[in-house]
Amino acid sequence: MQKRKTILIDLDGVLNNYDGKYDENNLPDIRLGAREFIEELNKDYDLILFTTRNSLEASRWLMENKMDKYYKDVTNVKTPAYIYLDDRAIKFSGDYQNTIKQIEDFKVHWK
């Protein structure tokens, strides 16, 4: 039996309607299609929620949105994974100058 690969998935801006206005006491509503996306990924991958938010609040958000059963863990530690899925990520392709350009031109999808 082959071990399933792990994907770390960010909460804000990926699973919810985060718009850049951070409020530690209020997690934004779930994004349209997020639950179905997670259900599909869970068929082939182990999922870990990766967030800088309070892990208890993030876990509660998963439960309220009926997604907790798809996740192995909630963490703020970047653990080894096959893929890191985040709305503020740039993939390093081996070219430093291209990476600098990507950083300079970077815009989150909600802006």
Name the pTM for this structure. 0.89
Amino acid at 99: T
Integer-rounded Cα Rg, in Å, for the chain is 15
- Residue-level pLDDT at 1: 62
pLDDT band at 25 (very low <50, low <70, confident <90, very high): confident
pLDDT band at 48 (very low <50, low <70, confident <90, very high): very high
User: 80-98: b or e for each residue (b if 16 or more CB lie within 10 Å)?
Assistant: ebeebbbeeeeeeeeeeee
Tens of pLDDT along 79-105? 999 999 999 999 999 999 999 999 999
Instruction: Tell how strand 71-75 and strand 83-85 pair up.
Output: unpaired
DSSP string covering 66-80: T-GGGEEEEESS---
Mind listing the domains of the chain with CATH numbers?
A: 5-105 (3.40.50.1000)
Q: Are 110 and 19 in contact (CB under 8 A)?
A: yes
- The mean pLDDT value for 22-34 works out to 94
The C-alpha atoms of residue 92 and residue 44 are separated, in whole angstroms, by 25
